[in-house]
Chains A and B, each alone.
Chain A
Amino acid sequence: MTTNSNPLAMMALDDLRVLEIGDERGAWCGKLLADMGADVIKIEPPEGDPSRQYEPFVDDEPHHERSLFFWYYNTSKRSVVMDFNDRSNADAFLKLVESADIIFDTNTYDPVGRLGVDYHQIMSDNPGLIWCTITNFGFGSVRDDEPHTDLTLAANGGFAWMNGYDDHSLPPVRGGGQQAYHTGSNYAFMSILTALLHRDATGVGQHINVNINASVNVTTEAGSYSWLVSHSTVQRQTGRHAGVAPSMPSQIMCADGRYVNTGIPPRRPAEFGLCYRWLEDEGLLDQLPEAALLLVGAELESFSLADVFRGDNEELLAIFGAGREAFDLLASKLTAYEFFTKAQNFGFQVGVIHSPEEALEDPHFVDRGMQVKVEHPELGRDVIYPGAPYQLTKGSWGITRRPPLLGEHTDEILSELR
């Protein structure tokens, strides 16, 4: 387990001040900035960010300082409470803007309209300012006033169409977590960094208009390009790529009731040989009458799935079938984790289907420092957070402070501005 990075070490974005004005849709973008060292000031309404009321809560006790949802998305940030309905805050807001390099907002609180400040004046007074707006359909869209959530955006933008089961009487499935919002925020962060590098080179800032629905749309791999290129439509399949044509199952339940993703079963001569050796290692050769076929497959000069699927060569079909049978047999004798590590050690591209918590505790991710301890003095104990999404060797990632209490930094930040 690792603890917070060295507080004295430089971080890649610790030269930047960012104002975060928005709701949960942009919070991930703010965390990405803050955990790289940016001074992200989250401006909250007097009642607090709505996600402070979101489950789960510490010990299931609802309280605006106990939301683990809020905690996760707001590490390393500071909190200022400012009431945009009170126009006497306009000066303080403009001073905050003047001190900032980047603003990002989700068009939720409309500081410009409510405080009666002039957006164009702000941009011309602060020529280096980068202002990024993240909204459901892009600022100014004819659809942008519609009510939506992560689920309905996942439905609109194409995630949902592609995820689900072979049995189409079961509904399409939204992936776990708020991945539509994540995807919008990922594009917001990439866009902000792009504008930042342009500013590094020229001193010039600008406005960026990020569209969550569009972000989902271009994060659908074959779903989009099958339509764009050949006007064909993919259909959802259990645990594997939605396809224009059905493909082979790739999920097997193992002896412990958990699943592995086997990818494509053995399909090269060398792989048939390795498969035979694996069965031999496990003492399972006598339980698979077809095992001898694997040795035949191992001796072939080449093996192509296209030849198998043409269906006119019974020996090839039988060899391919033996490989799949071998995987099924091995899975029935091994736990999912054993199957995964043993298969990978033989060179097979296989994955154990971990739950998120199993992934966090997996020895590989523990070894690489994915458990990060963050002090929570109010709680009287440290909390383990997931760690860095990328490992920079200089100016690297770190959670610099626990998520802020509501308005915790109002006085210190506003007094700096006077």
Chain B
Amino acid sequence: MPHHVKSQALSHLRICDFTGQLAGAGATKFMAAFGAEVIRIEDPSNHGRWDILRGMPPYVDDRRGPELGGPFNNHNVGKLGISLNIKTEKGRELFERLVAISDCVTENFSSGVMRSWGYDYDALKEIKEDIIYVSNCGFGHSGPYEKFKTWGPIVQATSGLTMSSAIPDQPPAGWGYSYMDHTGAYFMAMAIMLAIHHRNRTGEGQYVDVAATEAALTLNGPVLLDYTVNGRPLRRDGFPDANHSQFPAMAPHNIYAAQPIPGSFDEAWIAIACRNDEDWHAMRDVLVADGCDWAANDDYGQLAGRLSAQDDLDSKIGEWCMRRDPFQSAELLRAAGVPANAVQTPEQRIDQDVNSAEAQLWPTIRQAEMGRVRVDGIPAHFTKTDWSMTRGAAVLGEDNDYVYGELLGLSQDEIAGLHEEGVI
């Protein structure tokens, strides 16, 4: 289905949206791609700068400013944008009228912000009986750390994800970006839709408390059961060992240096994983055919032997990997049935991998000031109500006329007056 046909999957839903950054904005971006009417509310008194990604690099050209931030555009594709100062009396009135015609209110402020404005769940429920209010913050809205502040790296640190991403005898490598801002947003989207399904069945709205740290904690499952059942902590000598595979045990299983590709970076890497003895036998045949007689060693024939000689095996395989660039070696191994792949650079995976084109993964949208720019698409396709992305992030107040005029019934004069007063 072409990208410009608006999806009908969620077009019956309206979300009154305070989310920002990525941890919140990512959730409503997903729903907007499937047709939900997401109305993003921003404070005109600081040009929406609560969302620090407004104005952050990368930029399409030499211009700078709050409408030109690459990440902000990426995370807010397809949403409507209105300006509204909720600290004014008229702003509060408009917000309440909007809540009254919305299915959900969403936000990812620090704990307590909505309450300080007088809009906790009970207050929102007074406005609309079946409203769904989903709040997403790092440590959630109760407990000893309720007031603590987080962003992606702090969520990853406190949940165990940073520590478990490391190789032996090195400090934590962690995640080289806010994995949990993306993934926290995924859990927020799930929570919103779960609550809507519950409402569809019962007529009841509800409050949902999403804590990104808790979502993150659930992504450590087998390691945690090894601890609660077997008493074996991950913090022990020789661990974590993230490039080897313990669960399930596999060997060889690592990322190896490879011959750099001329004209590209001066480093290149290949990931190789033998899932079982059969994979190893296939890899052994590739290696032996390439003159690596050591690979025929019977000690390596079975998993136990490969695991006990893992470091030695890694260094020998590492030498072999330096003979070719990672794409060539991966091709050889995969042709033999062995999982292998180059560690792809952004350019390689976005512009050179055939799968990106097949998946129509990077749609070009149009943002009012940035112009045409590519963004992250959705990694799934539906046969009947596929997603679409055409419009970039709204510039501040871009949809004031539609929302205040068409949805709330204000006249052009009234809208102009509210703008003059700094309400919108």
Residues of A within 8 A of B (CB): 10, 12-13, 15, 32, 36, 51, 53-56, 58-60, 68-69, 71-73, 137-138, 141-143, 146-149, 151-158, 160-165, 168, 170-177, 179, 182-184, 186-191, 193-198, 200-201, 204, 206-215, 217-234, 236-242, 244, 250-251, 253, 259-261, 263, 340, 344, 347, 349-360, 362-365, 367-368, 370, 383-395
Contacts and interface: CB of A to CB of B under 8 A. Distances in A.
B245 A349 contact: no
B243 A174 contact: yes
Contact of B235 (A358, A370, A390): A358
What 10 A-B pairs come out closest when comparing CB atoms? A176-B164, A214-B379, A356-B160, A351-B157, A162-B176, A72-B221, A351-B154, A242-B176, A155-B271, A54-B248
Contacts of A225: 58, 70-71, 74, 375-376
A104 B204 CA distance: 28
Contacts of A194: 9-10, 30-31, 34, 193, 382, 385
Interface in B17-52: 22, 30-31, 34
A160 B176 CA distance: 9
The interface centre, meaning the residue of A142, A236, A395 with most chain B CB atoms within 10 A of its CB, is A395
Given A195-B385, A197-B197, A198-B8, A68 B226 contact: yes
Given A210-B380, A217-B356, A234-B177, 8 more contacts: A69-B222, A143-B355, A176-B240, A223-B176, A225-B74, A349-B150, A351-B158, A359-B217
Contact of A353 (B163, B170, B255): B163
Contact of B210 (A200, A232, A349, A390): A390
B395 interface: no
A72 B222 contact: yes
Contacts of A148: 339, 341
B9 to A, nearest CB: 4
A241 B163 contact: no
A354 B247 contact: no
13 contacts: A147-B334, A161-B344, A165-B173, A174-B243, A194-B31, A214-B361, A259-B172, A263-B151, A351-B157, A357-B228, A365-B217, A391-B214, A394-B195
Contacts of B217: 356, 359-360, 365, 370, 386
Contacts of B207: 393
B423 interface: no
B116 interface: no
A367 B342 contact: no
Given A58-B229, A191-B382, A229-B59, A241 B172 contact: no
B383 A206 contact: yes
B84 interface: no
A175 B373 CA distance: 30
B127 interface: no
A339 to B, nearest CB: 12
Interface in B44-86: 57-60, 70-71, 74
A370 B355 contact: no
Interface stretch (B288-296, B345-353, B406-414): B345-353
Interface stretch (B93-101, B141-149, B397-405): B141-149
B177 A221 contact: yes
A152 B339 contact: yes
Nearest to A220: B177
Interface residues of B, number: 158
A13 B194 contact: yes
A146 B332 CA distance: 12
Contacts of B191: 390, 392
Contacts of A157: 344, 349
A418 to B, nearest CB: 29
A186 B379 CA distance: 11
B242 A176 contact: yes
Contacts of B158: 340, 351-354, 359, 362
Nearest to B13: A197
A147 B337 contact: yes
A142 B354 contact: yes
Contact of B355 (A154, A186, A213, A223): A213
Nearest to B61: A230
B254 interface: yes
A186 B183 contact: yes
Contact of B163 (A58, A191, A354): A354
Contacts of A263: 151, 153-154
Contacts of B232: 56
A137 B357 CA distance: 11
B208 interface: yes
A200 B208 CA distance: 21
A200 B214 contact: no
A149 B143 contact: no
Contact of A59 (B57, B163, B170, B230): B230
A3 B271 CA distance: 41
Given A12-B197, A177-B220, A214-B361, A171 B171 contact: no
B206 interface: yes
B182 A234 contact: no
A73 B145 contact: no
A370 B385 CA distance: 36
A221 B22 contact: yes
A356 B355 contact: no
Contacts of B74: 225, 228-229
A251 B362 CA distance: 34
Given A219-B182, A388-B214, A228 B161 contact: no
Contacts of B220: 176-177, 356, 359, 386
Given A250-B153, A261-B157, A356-B163, A227 B350 contact: yes
B309 interface: no
A68 B229 contact: yes
B300 interface: no
Contacts of A153: 341
A188 B189 CA distance: 12
A389 B255 contact: no
B209 interface: yes
Nearest to B71: A225
B119 to A, nearest CB: 17
B201 interface: yes
A138 B182 contact: no
Nearest to A173: B173
A233 B347 CA distance: 8
A237 B176 CA distance: 7
Nearest to A139: B381
Contacts of A154: 271
B190 A32 contact: yes
Interface in B381-395: 381-385
